[in-house]
Structure 1
Amino acid sequence: MFVTKKKVNGKDYYYLQKSIREGNKIKSECIAYLGKDKEEADKRAAEIIEKIKKEEWRVKDMGDGEENKENMVNENKKEEKSKLSIDEKASSIFTIEELTTFCKRKGFVYPSAEIYGGLAGFWDFGPLGVELKNNLKREWWKYHVYQREDIAGIDGSIITNPKVWKASGHADNFTDVYVKCKKCKKPSKIDKKDIGKVKCECDGEYEVIGDFNLMFKTNVGPVETENSLAYLRPETAQLIFADFKFVQENSRLKLPFGIAQIGKSFRNEISPRDFLFRCREFEQMEIEYFIHPEKRKECSYFEELENFELNVYSEEMQKTGKDSVKMKIKDAVEKEIIKLKWHGYWLANETKWFLELGADKNKFRVRQHLSEEKSHYATDTWDLQYKFPFGWQELEGIADRGNFDLSQHEKFSKEDLKIFDEETKTKVLPHVVCEPSLGVERAFLVFMFDAYNFDEKRQNIVLKLNPKLAPIKAAVFPIVKQPEYNKLAEDIVRDLRKEFNVVYDKSGSIGRRYARNDEAGTIACITVDEQSLKDKTITLRDRDTAEQVRVKIPELKEIMRKVINEGSSILEFGKKVSTRVK
Structure 2
Amino acid sequence: MAFIVKKKIRGKDYYYLNENKRIGGKVKTKTLAYLGKNKKDAEKKAKEIAKIKIDETKKTSEKMESTKISIDEMAVFCKRKGFAYPSGEIYGGLSGFWDFGPLGVELKNNIKREWWKYHVYSRKDMTGIDGSIITNPSVWKASGHVDNFSDVFVVCKKCKKPGKVDRNELGKAKCLNCGGDFDVSTVKDFNLMFKTNVGEGGEAYLRPETAQLIFADFKLVHENARMKLPFGIAQFGKAFRNEIAPRDFLFRSREFEQMEIEYFIKPDSKCDYEIPDEELLVYSAEAQEKNFDSEKMKIKDALKKGIIKKDWHAYWLAMEFKFFKMLGANPENFRIRQHKKDELAHYSSDCWDLEYKFPFGWKELEGIADRKDYDLSRHEKFSGKDLKIFDEETKEKFLPHVVCEPSIGVERAFLVFLFDSYFYDEKRQNVVLRISPKLAPIKAAVFPIVKKEEFEKIAVDVFENLSREWKILYDESGSIGRRYARNDEAGTPYCITVDGDSAKNRDVTIRERNTTKQIRVKIADINEVVRRLVGGEIEFEKAGKSFK
Common fold, TM-score beyond 0.5? yes
Match of 1:457 in 2: 427
- Return the alpha-carbon distance in structure 2 between the equivalents of residues 446 and 140 of structure 1: 14
Match of 1:299 in 2: 271
Q: Which amino acid aligns with 1:558?
A: E
**Which of 475, 481, 485 matches 2:451?**
481
Q: Which amino acid aligns with 1:219?
A: N
8 Å CA contact retained: 1:259, 1:289: yes
1:212 aligns with 2:190: yes
When you count helix as a share of all residues, which structure comes out higher? 1
1:348 aligns with 2:318: yes
Match of 1:534 in 2: 504
8 Å CA contact retained: 1:254, 1:421: no
Q: Which amino acid aligns with 1:125?
A: F
Q: How far apart are 1:207 and its partner, in Å?
A: 1.8
Q: What fraction of aligned residue pairs are identical, expressed as a percent?
A: 67
- Return the alpha-carbon distance in structure 2 between the equivalents of residues 172 and 304 of structure 1: 38
Provide the alpha-carbon RMSD of the alignment.
1.3
Q: How far apart are 1:203 and its partner, in Å?
A: 4.2
Q: Which amino acid aligns with 1:220?
A: V
Change (3 A) 1:499 1:199: closer
- Return the alpha-carbon distance in structure 1 between the equivalents of residues 106 and 66 of structure 2: 28
Q: How far apart are 1:533 and its partner, in Å?
A: 1.3
Change (3 A) 1:494 1:439: same
Q: How far apart are 1:92 and its partner, in Å?
A: 4.2
8 Å CA contact retained: 1:400, 1:435: yes
Q: Which amino acid aligns with 1:452?
A: Y
1:96 aligns with 2:71: yes
1:268 aligns with 2:242: yes
How far does the alpha carbon of each residue in 1:128-175 deviate from its partner, in whole angstroms, 9 at most, with x for none?
A: 110010000000000000000111100000000000000000001000
Q: Which amino acid aligns with 1:107?
A: G
8 Å CA contact retained: 1:161, 1:230: yes
Match of 2:95 in 1: 120
How far does the alpha carbon of each residue in 1:56-75 deviate from its partner, in whole angstroms, 9 at most, with x for none?
A: xxxxxxxxxxxxxxxxxxxx
1:546 aligns with 2:516: yes
Match of 2:367 in 1: 397
How far does the alpha carbon of each residue in 1:318-374 deviate from its partner, in whole angstroms, 9 at most, with x for none?
A: 111211111122211111100000111110000000000000000000000110111
8 Å CA contact retained: 2:229, 2:264: yes
Q: How far apart are 1:186 and its partner, in Å?
A: 2.1
Q: How far apart are 1:304 and its partner, in Å?
A: 4.0
Q: Which amino acid aligns with 2:256?
A: F
Q: Which amino acid aligns with 2:152?
A: V
- State how 1:165-564 maps to structure 2 within 5 Å: 165-201=140-176, 202-208=178-184, 209=186, 210-221=188-199, 223-224=200-201, 228-295=202-269, 298-301=270-273, 303-305=274-276, 307-564=277-534
How far does the alpha carbon of each residue in 1:502-554 deviate from its partner, in whole angstroms, 9 at most, with x for none?
A: 11110111110111111111111111111111111111100111111111111
- Return the alpha-carbon distance in structure 2 between the equivalents of residues 139 and 92 of structure 1: 25
- Return the alpha-carbon distance in structure 2 between the equivalents of residues 231 and 519 of structure 1: 40
Q: Which amino acid aligns with 1:284?
A: Q
- Return the alpha-carbon distance in structure 2 between the equivalents of residues 415 and 292 of structure 1: 20
Change (3 A) 1:115 1:464: same
Q: Which amino acid aligns with 2:196?
A: T
8 Å CA contact retained: 2:66, 2:421: no
Q: Which moved more, 1:241-250 or 1:549-558?
A: 549-558
SS in 2 for 1:219: strand
Residue ranges of structure 1 left out of the alignment (5+ in a row): 1-89
Q: How far apart are 1:205 and its partner, in Å?
A: 2.1
1:566 aligns with 2:526: no
Q: Which moved more, 1:196-205 or 1:141-150?
A: 196-205
8 Å CA contact retained: 1:266, 1:282: yes
Equivalenced residue count is 481
- Return the alpha-carbon distance in structure 2 between the equivalents of residues 328 and 504 of structure 1: 46
- Return the alpha-carbon distance in structure 2 between the equivalents of residues 466 and 570 of structure 1: 14
8 Å CA contact retained: 1:467, 1:567: no
Q: How far apart are 1:576 and its partner, in Å?
A: 2.3
Larger Rg: 1
Residue ranges of structure 2 left out of the alignment (5+ in a row): 1-64
- Return the alpha-carbon distance in structure 2 between the equivalents of residues 342 and 310 of structure 1: 18
8 Å CA contact retained: 2:440, 2:491: yes
